[in-house]
Amino acid sequence: MKPHRLLALLAWLLWLPAFAQTAAVQATLDRDSVQLGETVTLNLRADGGGSLGTPDLSPLQRDFDILGSSSNTSVSIVNGQRSAQTIVGIALRPKRAGRLEIPPLEVNGQRTAALSLQVSPADAAAAARGGKDVFMESAVEPGTVRVGQQLVYTVKLYYRATLTNGALADPQLPGVDVRRLGGDLDYDAERGGRNYHVVERRYALIPQRPGRLEIPALGFQGEQVDPNDPDSFFGMGTPVSAAAPAAAVEVQPAPADWGNAAWLPARQLELKLDGLPADGRARVGQPLNLTMTLQATGLPYEALPALGLPPLDGATVYPDKPAEATRADGQWLLGSRTQSFAVVPERPGRLRIPATTLKWWNVQSGRAETATIPARELDVLPAAGAGAAPAAAASSSAAPLPAAPASTAAPSSGAWTARLPGAGTWPWWLAGAAALLLAGALGWWLGRRGGRRAAPRESATAVVAPPARRLREAFLAAARGTDAAAQEQALLAWARSERPQLRNLGELADALAAPAQREAIAALQRQRYAGAPATAGTALAAAFVRGFAWRDGAGKDGDEPPLPPLYPFKLR
């Protein structure tokens, strides 16, 4: 090769990168105006067939959703001249209406020119009249609400062709509690003289602060498949998108004179108490199972206050674990709280359950209302068998006396007189005297027999009668289990063997001096009536393992403290 041709080739090779770098990168839009919800394509084009690399698209994210990108390189030869071109297409969806700017982008060390795009609000009616295959509608009601009041936001997607891979975004609103109301509804409708399939979705919006609530356009992105297109059999569809029109709602604060009561803006509110006896009567020691329920339409259960009964004079209240739930009827939230109570009367007489009131705001009438449970008074009767116990004790103590049969047999004296004419009353005196002599002789013989057989240590054992010992053992056996009802019955039966006048656990606790025993009874009552965990058995047995610590220091009048049990309870 000649020297001058070699120098020309070297110069061309040295200047070739410079020419490549100066090849401009152009940015264009496929259209300069769109409706909100539609997509626009930004094309980046470079001549020469070189790669455009990975452009920095972060400046676009402020006003656009970047849906994807594609790259294409084409080569052509015209009149023996070869040319190449590389195009990168970027699909964009505007986030808001107005004139949006596409800022300059950095591509291969070069900056593209800035572009502008006019975005108009979505018009569902115009889309239907224009024969679009996919469009959206939205509605929100009511247009003016109070803070904390539920709104219903409805979004409808209309489409004619078959859609695949569709996604409808949920609204993201700061300071607003957003909940979906049930599942999507599917039906058909007519718009602009054309039939469409419709997917309807509803949301519950609960603003947490006053002011103007802006609901931005809700977007849909999917693919449309044309059955007449052969490429559709290979899963190749056409991207489609739509957007629901934006909306705005005025949120007013709570009334200035509302006070310190809980703010409850609801469409309906109901407060009730079930379980009160229809005859208005109760009995000492027998629990009343009451259930208080609060239900509101248009509020979730988290917005409702906790339920409770005030302290009752003459009864103990044991609350159960509350139950809360929120469900939807397709349009409104239904929040509810349920609280159960076991109310145990402690003494006979009148038991008053005071009224319960709850202030709330009726959003339909626009005024404050009050839900009320009226006060009730119950007639509390003595404990079952309370009046029979002293009589039974008196009859049992009088049974050994010989004079009792004489007094009870007096009405039958007429029969004796008829059987013995002219006998008079002398047989009764004779029979009574004989009975007294026989009873005295029997008592003297039993005393001598017991004195000969009783050892000094065994004389103390006779203080605890065999029934009391068996009742103690039955209680300790019940305490090892988890049945609170069986533990209560066994403990009361054992205590009544020493104090027959006791009627319930409350009176037993009042008669005891040891704080540990009273606390063990309270724990048993919480387990029995308030649903406390079944762990009171160990503490209960440990508290009474050495018997009852009565306030007067004796188990019964004149008796000594009972002996330790034969089989001591072991703590585990």
Question: Would residue 395 count as lying in a domain?
Answer: no
**Number of Cβ within a 10 Å radius of residue 513:** 12
What pLDDT does 460 receive? 37
For residues 238 and 36, what is the distance between their CA atoms, to the nearest angstrom?
19
Shared-domain flag, residues 236 and 283: no
Q: Where in the sequence is the domain holding 282, given as residue range(s)? A: 265-381
pLDDT recorded at residue 390: 42
Same domain as 147, residue 248:
yes
- Residue-wise pLDDT tens digits, 98-132: 888 888 888 777 788 889 888 877 666 665 556 68
115 and 139 both lie in a single domain: no
Do 157 and 270 belong to one domain? no
In-domain check, residue 7: no
Can you give the CATH number for the domain in which 110 is found?
Answer: 2.60.40
pLDDT in tens, 166-203: 888 889 899 999 999 988 888 888 887 888 899 999 99
Q: Mean of the per-residue pLDDT values for the chain?
A: 76
The pLDDT value given to residue 25: 81
Q: 29-43, 468-482, 524-538: which has the minimum mean pLDDT?
A: 524-538
Closest CA to 146 of 60, 52, 263: 263
**100 by DSSP, 3-state: which?**
strand
Domain annotation covers residue 98 = yes
Whether 69 and 89 have beta carbons less than 8 Å apart is answered as: yes
**Within a domain: 155:** yes
- Among 65, 89, 120, the domain-final residue is 120
| Domain termination residue (choose one: 252, 285, 304) | 252
Whether residues 368 and 474 fall in one domain: no
* The dihedral sign for the CA sequence 205, 208, 214, 219: negative
pLDDT of residue 228: 65
Q: What is the pTM of this model?
A: 0.55
142 inside domain: yes
Above 70 in pLDDT, residue 300? yes
Prior bond of 59 cis (ω within 30°) = no
My answer on whether 116 and 234 are in the same domain is: no
Residue of higher predicted confidence among 83 and 318: 318
The answer to whether residues 136 and 247 belong to one domain is: yes
Domain total in the chain? 4
243 lies in the same domain as 198? yes
For residues 99 and 134, state if they share a domain.
no
Last residue of one domain, picked from the residues 381, 412, 431: 381
- pLDDT tens string 223-251: 887 766 655 555 566 788 888 888 999 99
